[in-house]
Structure 1
Amino acid sequence: MIGMLESLFDFDWDVMLAHTVQMALAFGLVLPVGFNRESSRQSIGLRTFPLVSLASCCFTLLGFELNGDDDSLMGEVLGGIITGIGFVGGGAILQKDDRIEGTSTAAAIWAAGCVGVAVAMGRLEIAVLISVFMVGIFYFVSPLKQKLSKENDDV
């Protein structure tokens, strides 16, 4: 029992700090999208998006720890993350009458997972760009889509 407790606290504080920063970045980069979805009264929003990104980051970091230098096994870890996020995103897609809703939210959940993976892999430029594009889509393209849809309905 004492050996287990000693090993529990025998870790590298520098690695812990680095992973904490990575997790905070993965969490924070998707907050604007989660806020947008929440303020748009979508069923998936402020909690789900950061959690998907955070979990993706953590699974990727754990994958690096488990796989060591074997890059081929990392593909399996990433495949599992992608599949799991697809399952979560699938829950966002609903059929209402003759319309399908939630596809953009499902796609954004997938993108949020990609943000987390990119952060964990040290590809901050990819994570930031995905986040910028997601914010642009939901804050600027979505209102344009609604305006165009309304104009088509008026015809």
Structure 2
Amino acid sequence: MYEIFQYLNSLPIVQHVLTLAVAYVLAFPIGWEREIEERSAGMRTFPLVALASCGFIQGTEGVMGEHPEATARIIEGLITGVGFIGGGAILQMKDSVRGTATAASIWATGAIGVAVGLESYDVAFIISLVTFLTLRLMLPLKKETKEK
């Protein structure tokens, strides 16, 4: 039993927990914004997408090692998978399409998770900030053009 505890203590769990928490926190404002706008995805979906994306990067780093092509394949799979989730947020109506901003935001949130997983915290922060600001600041413009 002692060996198990020694092994667990040697794992970089604290670093992984902190990294995953950063991905979650950076995605939360985007989810909150979508939630208050009563969109199909919200406060639960966005942080989970970032957390999972980051988790795939973090969880496979031991396998990928110093092989950039392996990292690229993991990221390619994440881009596809997150795009599929985002596609589910798009609704086609008779004369309009809804949910494209939510779908794009889900994709951006996946990118936040990947960036955090790759320790590109500055990129993740910028994606989070720009996505949130785009959703908040462009909303009045969207409502204004709808009224015309």
TM-score of the aligned structures, taking structure 2 as reference length: 0.93
Partner of 1:15: 12
Deviations 1:35-93 (A, max 9, x none): 11111111110100000000000001122121111111111111111111011001001
TM-score of the aligned structures, taking structure 1 as reference length: 0.89
Q: Following the alignment from structure 1 to structure 2, what is the Cα–Cα distance between the partners of residues 118 and 69?
A: 17
Q: Name stretches of at least 5 consecutive residues in structure 1 with no aligned partner.
A: none
Partner of 1:103: 100
Letter in 1 for 2:141: L
2:111 maps to which of 105, 109, 114? 114
Letter in 1 for 2:83: G
Extract structure 1 runs of 4+ deviating beyond 3 A: 5-9, 11-14
1:74 maps to which of 62, 71, 76? 71
Aligned residues: 148
The offset of 1:145, in angstroms, is: 1.4
The offset of 1:148, in angstroms, is: 2.2
Determine helix, strand or coil for the equivalent of 1:58. Answer: helix
Q: Following the alignment from structure 1 to structure 2, what is the Cα–Cα distance between the partners of residues 139 and 45?
A: 14
Larger radius of gyration: 1
Q: Is residue 92 from structure 1 mapped to residue 93 from structure 2 by the alignment?
A: no
The offset of 1:117, in angstroms, is: 0.6
The offset of 1:105, in angstroms, is: 0.5
1:65 maps to which of 51, 56, 62? 62
The offset of 1:149, in angstroms, is: 2.0
Q: Name stretches of at least 5 consecutive residues in structure 2 with no aligned partner.
A: none
Deviations 1:79-119 (A, max 9, x none): 11111101100100111121111111000000000001101
